[in-house]
Amino acid sequence: MKSFDTSSLWRISEFRRARSEGRLDLAHGADRPTLLSTTLLGDLRRLQAEGANGDVLEVLAACVRNHEAALLYLEQGAFVWPVTVFPREALYHSPRDAADFAADFAMSRLRLVMADPPLVRPPSSVLRERVASPERYRPLTGLLWTVAMEGPRATLLTEISGRAAYRFVASNAQQLPPLKGALGSAVARLHRESASLAEIARWPGMSVERASRVLNALYLCGALLVSRAHPAARSEPSGWRGLLGRRKS
């Protein structure tokens, strides 16, 4: 099998050196924004205050929630993977497809190093400067789904946690990957009925972690309805976040 091509990724040592020397900023060009939007910066500062600024999924959720583009430098082992998200256009720009990256690297070790304004513009931009090659733009759902299902976060995103019931919204699911086995059955059942996290975790082939991951993925892809007042709404299983934390240590 052909080895994964890392030529378009940063070596972490070179990235840190370029960052400390200011070469990342010097290479960006004069027409690039120098700051992220105020709303996105506010969310990122909140995550930093909560100690979650390295949480890739929470940062992606902040970009999606605010409909704000950002260049995310994601560290995995010896490499830094640059990914630019464009929530308004439902695209991301990357030298590598998220699924291909996940096949060769442990996504469970992925963490955010830093977030910057985008270096490139989306393909729809009337300003053609900094619009990249078309093959490097991909549907955003692919990135969101892969990071939610295979990334380091095993618990519900903050904005959908707590007492709630969840339901799958099929009308927004055109770009989701094929869902098979227990995962496909669980999502099909969520299309028919609302259920709490605790209930979904008891379905065949599911667990609290797997249910949390698929709910996060569906939510980020715009295919999840979260209800706090539904009769099926329940609080998260008691103590499960602490249990997951102990298992990781």
| Domain end call among 150, 166, 182 | 150
Instruction: Measure the CA–CA gap between 33 and 39, rounded to whole angstroms.
Output: 15
Dig out the tokens for 76 from the structure: 């995995």
Listed range (12-26, 107-121, 123-137, 200-214) with the worst mean pLDDT:
12-26
* Whether pLDDT at 240 is above 60: no
- Could you tell me which residues come within 8 angstroms of residue 1 by beta carbon, excluding any fewer than 6 positions away? none
> What pLDDT is recorded for position 87?
95
The CB-side HSE value for 133 (13 A sphere, CA atoms) comes to 5
- 114 with 65, same domain: the answer is yes
pLDDT tens profile 178-231: 889 999 999 999 999 999 999 999 999 999 999 999 999 999 999 999 999 999
CA 78 to chain centre: 20
In a shared domain, residues 124 and 26 = yes
Using CA atoms, how far apart are residues 102 and 52, in angstroms rounded to an integer? 22
- Asked if residue 2 belongs to a domain, the reply is no
Q: Are residues 145 and 164 in the same domain?
A: no
Q: Same structural domain for residues 168 and 137?
A: no
Domain contains 1: no
For 24-54, write each residue's pLDDT tens digit: 654 455 555 667 888 999 998 999 888 888 8
- Domain assignment present for 4: no
Structural domain count of the chain: 2
| Structural domain includes residue 86 | yes
Domain closes at, from 107, 126, 150:
150
The parent domain of residue 125 ranges over 10-150
SS3 string, 77-106, reads CCEEEEEEEECCCCEEECCCCHHHHHHHCC
Size (the chain), residues: 249
Distance of alpha carbon 223 from alpha carbon 64, whole angstroms: 13
Instruction: Please indicate, yes or no, whether residues 55 and 176 belong to a single structural domain of this protein.
Output: no
